[in-house]
Amino acid sequence: MTGEEGFAALKIKGKPPLKPFLKGNPGGPGRPKGSRPKATVAAENLMLQALDSVILAVVKKAQEGDIPASRIIIDRLVPVRATKIEFPLPPTKTAADVAVALGMVTQAVGTGELAPDDALKVASILETQRKAIETVELEARIAEIEKRFPR
């Protein structure tokens, strides 16, 4: 049975066939923007009602020496401070300079001078610098081409 035959089967006493979804919208209108599922709202309300007693219970356990309870409190209340990374880098004015700097970062990880996590942060900054350099160079090349071959 094709789609049209299926709709023909849905005709009711001379009325046009029932089409539950508008053309181009196979999933129907869906949930309105910003609305939330009733189960989620109900669960959040239950949690909010019990929140004070749960917090008091965790604090009491922590005061009694319960290490996991203490960790929960510390993890939520004491923010993790970002550590400063001190690693000398050469000037990075060209993509080749960035490649040299990345080589230095890799070498520092290999010798243990720089932790792998810190190296990833430095490498991310260098990659951002490389993209900026590349963008400026490409803009200059495109401008030169457009100057040579006007539209």
Please give the average per-residue pLDDT across 91-104, as a whole number: 95
Domain borders along the chain are 38-77, 95-148
Give the C-alpha distances (Å, rounded to integers) separating 46 from 40, 41, 42, 53, 55: 10, 9, 6, 12, 14
CB of 84 closer than 8 Å to CB of 118: no
Please give the average per-residue pLDDT across 106-124, as a whole number: 94
In the predicted structure, residue 22 carries a pLDDT above the cut 80: no
Handedness of CA 134, 135, 137, 141 (dihedral sign): positive
In the predicted structure, residue 121 carries a pLDDT above the cut 60: yes
What are the tens digits of pLDDT across the range 56-75?
A: 898 999 999 999 988 888 88
CA distance 132 to 42: 48
What are the tens digits of pLDDT across the range 133-150?
A: 999 999 999 999 999 998
CA distance 62 to 137: 58
Look-up: residue for tokens 């869906």?
30
In the predicted structure, residue 2 carries a pLDDT above the cut 60: no
Look-up: residue for tokens 């209340």?
77
Q: What percent of the chain has pLDDT over 90?
A: 48
